[in-house]
């Protein structure tokens, strides 16, 4: 079909195929957009994009409904009026819309008992890691660093270690599967069957469900005049971005040192580096001009943050996705992601109640206050340059030597 013969409908379809095609989005572009969305979050809902505060709210409501608020804490707001919760809901909806438009939505059932165990164990470890580190891959790392909080750098150290341990676990699991399959044990072959069964759900039906839910939420916010519609739309933008770029921190840290198989991980890290650069510059300006409070996004820092980052990333490898990865994979229809999400929602309020009182008194270090605004800005530029050089060194080491 020539351009002259193409109708407007065909023209729009062609444009959508480029956006929602099988190729996905470039990680660098995704990183820039993630940084910009994080800045928008500061402006619109006065906080960076995070995940686990919303999951805490969900868990507290569940425990409250069954009369167990004493072990989880009482929820302060209903889920639709808590900004992080609204963002989490939006991320799932955004991923579902993106996945259906890209023909990538399907109800993907867990294929064996091991996956169920991994989802549950991973969800528990992720919740524990967040309680220790004061945040997940967003609130404890990406949004923490772009908020100029030192605890984000501590999380990064732990994340690298946790990712390597996750890689060793995956390698051990693969070896076990090979041994079991080669032994021709029918029972274990069924247990460790790696097939990924899917149950189709019509593309237009899934898209209609997502749009109906979105319409009802917008109508609700409009009826009460709530600014939380901003959190919802920011979450939708994040869900679309992450789904289209296949942007998962669990993959990034797990495969960082995985030899020739680390190309995807290195691409994601390049996106993370540019997201940190973009987001930190924007947040620097907002905080320097007094448009948002300097302590927003800043959490206590201690060596325990390193342990938290380690535990969280290892748990995310088991679960098959980081905090945001579990959200967008839930939007794609992964049942394992839903199991991990429910598990971490139930575990986190308990860990938060048990652990947070003992680590909350550690110092909060806002880097510009510690070394000066100009010095902090220079420090961040140097950090991003070194981070990028390290990623490119790994690319050179495993590709060109």
Backbone angles phi, psi at 190, to 5 degrees: -70, -40
In a domain, 7, yes or no: no
Q: What percent of the chain has pLDDT over 90?
A: 74
In a domain, 6, yes or no: no
Predicted confidence at residue 24, as pLDDT, reads 76
Question: In terms of residue numbers, what domain contains 219?
Answer: 30-399
Q: Which residue do the tokens 């996945």 mark?
A: 99
In a domain, 5, yes or no: no
Those residues with Cβ within 8 angstroms of residue 132's Cβ, 6 or more apart along the chain or in another chain:
304, 305, 307, 308, 311, 312, 355, 359
Which residue, 299, 273, 47, 312, is CA-closest to 151? 299
In a domain, 23, yes or no: no
Predicted confidence at residue 399, as pLDDT, reads 74
Cβ burial, residue 198 (10 Å; 0-12/13-18/19+) = exposed
Q: What percent of the chain has pLDDT over 70?
A: 88
Q: What mean pLDDT comes out for the span 15-36? A: 81
How many distinct structural domains can be found in the chain? 1
In a domain, 216, yes or no: yes
Q: Over the stretch 342-388, which tens digit does the pLDDT of each residue have?
A: 999 999 999 999 998 888 889 999 999 999 999 999 999 999 999 99
Predicted confidence at residue 100, as pLDDT, reads 92
Q: How far apart are CA 225 and CA 229, in angstroms?
A: 9
In a domain, 260, yes or no: yes
In a domain, 111, yes or no: yes
What is the sign, positive or negative, of the torsion defined by CA atoms of 94, 100, 106, 107? positive
In a domain, 3, yes or no: no
Those residues with Cβ within 8 angstroms of residue 162's Cβ, 6 or more apart along the chain or in another chain:
129, 253, 309, 310, 311, 312, 313, 314, 317
Q: What mean pLDDT comes out for the span 32-36? A: 96
């Amino acid at each position: 079909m020539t351009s002259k013969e193409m109708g407007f409908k065909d023209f729009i379809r062609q444009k959508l195929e480029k956006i929602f095609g099988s190729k996905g989005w470039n990680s660098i572009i995704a990183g820039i957009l993630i940084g910009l969305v994080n800045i928008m979050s500061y402006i619109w809902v006065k906080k960076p994009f995070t995940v686990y505060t919303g999951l805490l709210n969900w868990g507290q409501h569940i425990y409250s409904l069954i009369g167990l608020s004493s072990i989880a804490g009482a929820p302060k707001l209903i889920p639709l009026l808590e900004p992080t919760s609204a963002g989490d809901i939006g991320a799932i909806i955004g991923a579902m819309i993106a996945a259906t438009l890209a023909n990538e939505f399907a109800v993907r059932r867990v294929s064996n008992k091991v996956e169920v165990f991994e989802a549950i164990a991973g969800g528990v470890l992720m919740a524990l890691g967040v309680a220790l580190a004061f945040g997940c891959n967003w609130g404890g790392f990406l949004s923490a660093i772009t908020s100029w909080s030192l605890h984000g750098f501590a999380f990064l150290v732990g994340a690298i270690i946790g990712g390597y341990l996750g890689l060793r676990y995956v390698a051990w699991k693969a070896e076990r599967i090979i041994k079991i399959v080669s032994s021709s044990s029918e029972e274990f072959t069924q247990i460790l069957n790696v097939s990924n069964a899917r149950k189709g759900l019509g593309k237009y039906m899934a898209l209609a469900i997502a749009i109906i839910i979105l319409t009802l939420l917008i109508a609700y916010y409009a009826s009460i005049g709530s600014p939380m519609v901003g959190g919802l739309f920011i979450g939708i933008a994040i869900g679309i971005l992450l789904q289209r770029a296949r942007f998962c921190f669990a993959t990034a840290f797990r495969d960082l040192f995985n030899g020739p198989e680390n190309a995807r991980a290195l691409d994601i890290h390049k996106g993370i580096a540019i997201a940190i650069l973009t987001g930190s510059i924007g947040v620097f300006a907002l905080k320097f001009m007094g448009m948002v409070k300097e302590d927003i996004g800043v959490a206590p820092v201690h060596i325990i943050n390193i342990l938290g980052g380690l535990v969280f990333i290892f748990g995310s490898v088991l679960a098959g996705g980081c905090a945001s990865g579990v959200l967008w994979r839930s939007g794609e229809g992964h049942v394992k992601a839903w199991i991990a999400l429910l598990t971490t929602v139930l575990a986190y309020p308990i860990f938060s109640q048990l652990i947070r009182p003992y680590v909350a008194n550690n110092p909060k270090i806002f880097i510009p206050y510690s070394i000066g605004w100009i010095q902090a800005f220079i420090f961040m530029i140097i950090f991003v340059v070194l981070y990028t050089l390290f990623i490119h060194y790994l690319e050179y080491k495993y590709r060109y030597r």
